[in-house]
Amino acid sequence: MKKYLTNFDLKLIAIITMTIDHIGAIIYNDIDIFRIIGRISFPIFAFLLVEGFKNSSNRLKYFLRLIIFAFITQPIYDYVFKSNTLNILFTFSLGFLLMMIIESGKKIIDKYNKGLELYLYKTVFYSLFYILFSVLAIFLNVDYTVLGITTIFIFYLSPNILLSFILYLLSVPLLETNDIQMYSIISFFFLYLYNGKRGRNLKYFFYLYYPLHLLLLKMLLVM
């Protein structure tokens, strides 16, 4: 099958489905179809985060951008949802920091170990930090909590979309009590069509769109 979708196309699909999800969450919260469609967005965003991490020329700058916009967005998120949850940008920030730590640790392990010993050290190292960041996600109460960290971790470690799909499919029933989350597997159809090309570059669009569309939807609700 020909792969048609660029990084920009995936981002657009994720933004559209996220917006539909938030229309359902904020305005039409008694209509499930909005939330079902919305489940498509998070795995795509998680995948794009990992792609951004792997291709970034300045990972520290990328991380700082994520965390700064997470803090900027949080007051709007609190106003709209009236919850004690930290918005999705905090989830992405944690996932990004996890990948940064693993990359740094991996270089040290690779330098001093070989063969089976290398594999064992990596397995223990990866597992410890995955558990640590999962606990941190629960403690901070970020959006998607452990499933969020797990999804990012799966995309980071998996060599292909098929394996990512299998691992994600196994993870959702274990980490998510809401059955509607299973509809998120639809996102892998779009990920399979990803051609690895960047497409248009709208670097700051999502960071601005995310809080602004929440505020607009809330204003529409109270009008």
Which among 87, 124, 108, 31 has a CA at the least distance from the CA of 206?
Answer: 87
Please check whether residue 208 lies inside any domain of the structure: yes
90 and 142 Cβ atoms separated by less than 8 Å: yes
The structure's pTM equals: 0.94
Integer Cα distance of 109 and 112 in angstroms: 6
Segment 77-127, tens digit of pLDDT: 999 999 999 999 999 999 999 999 999 988 887 776 676 667 788 889 999
What pLDDT is stored for residue 123 in this prediction?
87
Please check whether residue 83 lies inside any domain of the structure: yes
**At residue 64, does pLDDT exceed 80?**
yes
Q: Please report, for residues 117, 132, 176, 218, the alpha-carbon distance to residue 103 in angstroms, rounded to integers and kept in the order given.
A: 18, 16, 28, 40
Segment 5-33, tens digit of pLDDT: 999 999 999 999 999 999 999 999 889 99
- Structure tokens of 94? 């944690």
Domain that holds residue 154: 7-222
Please check whether residue 49 lies inside any domain of the structure: yes
Please check whether residue 120 lies inside any domain of the structure: yes
What letter does residue 85 receive in the DSSP assignment?
P
Question: How many structural domains compose the chain?
Answer: 1
Please check whether residue 121 lies inside any domain of the structure: yes
Integer Cα distance of 158 and 141 in angstroms: 26
Please check whether residue 2 lies inside any domain of the structure: no
What pLDDT is stored for residue 116 in this prediction?
66
Please check whether residue 109 lies inside any domain of the structure: yes
What pLDDT is stored for residue 142 in this prediction?
98
Please check whether residue 1 lies inside any domain of the structure: no
CA terminus-to-terminus distance, the chain: 47
